[in-house]
Amino acid sequence: MVDYDRLFGLWRRTVSLSWPISVQQALTTLMRTVDVVVAGLFAPAYVTAIGLADLYAQVPLRIGLGLGTGAIALSSQDTGRAATATRDRAITQAFLIGALAGLPLIVLGLLFSDVFIAVLGAEAEVVRLGAQYLTLVFAAAPMRIVGLVGARSLQGTGDTVTPMIVNGGANLCNAVATVVLALGLGPVPGFGIVGIGLATLLARTVEALAITGAIASARTDLSFARPRSLTITRQIVGVSLPNLAEGMSASLANFPFNALLLVFGTEVNAAYHIGRRIYQQLAGPIYRAVNTAASITVGQSLGEGDPAGARYAGFAIAALSILTMGAAGVVLVAGADPIASVFTDDPETLGYAAAFTRVFGVSMLFFGVFFPFAGSLRGAGDTRTPFYARATGTFVFMLGGSYLLAIPLGWGLSGVYVGLILSYICWAVIAVAGFVWGDWADRAAGMMAERAEVSD
């Protein structure tokens, strides 16, 4: 028999943790959406340039999310067991590693941005525009990584409001600056795609300074502490690397996948990025919030010594996720045409964008399964299973399946659509199997025991 009081109580806590994350993610995706909309006011080449450059811009994002996953796992577990000293040392190490990891990207952006875009087979104008934008985005890499690590560190303690305020304010700044600097409003001249990149650099700098100041202040439970343990360093890296590999595998597969789309024309590629932006704007805040809330809840339950409660929480949050993401998918499928028309008025691009939006809408059910279970596993410190899920789905189905169906078998874009949906089904199946049969609770207990030995 279902204990509805327990279930609804956990759902209420999930919503309490999730709504600030949803607002934060909505503003993050709004910022990227504004970039695409503003780029679309110039020409499809601008949209394609930003889409291709964003493939490389995912590198600092993936590094930040990877280190952030390590930070949230250790932060939530140590919050659950009231080990504040160990927690503070862990998040300090994550900050330092992240800042250092971003520095080489600045150099790469200055030297090789045009090469990075050209190697994808883009037209000369797209290469020129994409290189200008990518140089500025890479210049913001250290700040981007620090901002992500800081947000995840705070979320692990259960504080999802402070990251919302900091990141949300920075992203609003980014969106406004994009419009002003790209289009040239008032006395400000229009810088085009350079203005979009400058807005990103400004916002990421503001975010990094603000999140660092919040942790250093008395307003939050976290504090910076001098690192003293290689055990903590090893655990941060050990948890972070599979998550980084997970994200990078998806990013790397996107290069040949975008090359495949370019076979069908610039309009198809632009349409894919529009469809992707639509689902990330409307549904991304939900599944990302659920993913993080599951990490927090499961991590803290394990820290409190309650693995059975952690398992229950994982299933309960997944049930809520399936309901909400299913509803989001219906909206995407039903409203594909009018929503896509916000991003472009080019008839050919619009038709393809609506089709991609419907594909993503159908896939939302599988997102609703994958992300809560993946978040639960990450909260326990198991980042390998989500990595296996995404790498398998991405390379075998999104890339390999799409190519096989679209080109050798002659299905055209229909083959790409099928390959995308199959990849998300694969994500969901492997994540569920890992949560049901994996040893994630024992892994978390072993990590906490190691940290307890070096806490003095």
CB 22 within 8 A of CB 285: yes
Q: State the Cα–Cα distance between residues 235 and 90, nearest whole angstrom.
A: 9
The predicted model scores a pTM of 0.85
Distance between start and end Cα atoms, the chain: 45
Query: What is the per-residue pLDDT for 143?
Result: 95
Burial classification of residue 437, based on how many CB atoms lie within 10 Å of its CB (0-12 exposed, 13-18 middle, 19 or more buried): exposed
Q: State the Cα–Cα distance between residues 328 and 368, nearest whole angstrom.
A: 10
Query: What is the per-residue pLDDT for 455?
Result: 58
Q: State the Cα–Cα distance between residues 48 and 36, nearest whole angstrom.
A: 9
Strands (E), 296-399: none
Query: What is the per-residue pLDDT for 360?
Result: 96
Query: What is the per-residue pLDDT for 316?
Result: 95
pLDDT, tens digit (0-9, with 9 covering 90-100), for 242-278: 988 888 887 788 778 988 998 898 889 889 988 988 8
Nearest Cα neighbor of 162 from 205, 215, 200, 204 is 215
Question: What does residue 455 show for φ and ψ, rounded to 5 degrees?
Answer: -75, -20
Residue 87 DSSP SS3 = helix
Stretches where the chain sits below pLDDT 70 are: 1-2, 454-456
Q: State the Cα–Cα distance between residues 336 and 165, nearest whole angstrom.
A: 31
CA distances from 110 to 3, 115, 135, 152, 364 (A): 58, 11, 6, 29, 38
Q: State the Cα–Cα distance between residues 109 and 129, nearest whole angstrom.
A: 14
Helix (H), strand (E) counts: the chain: 17, 0
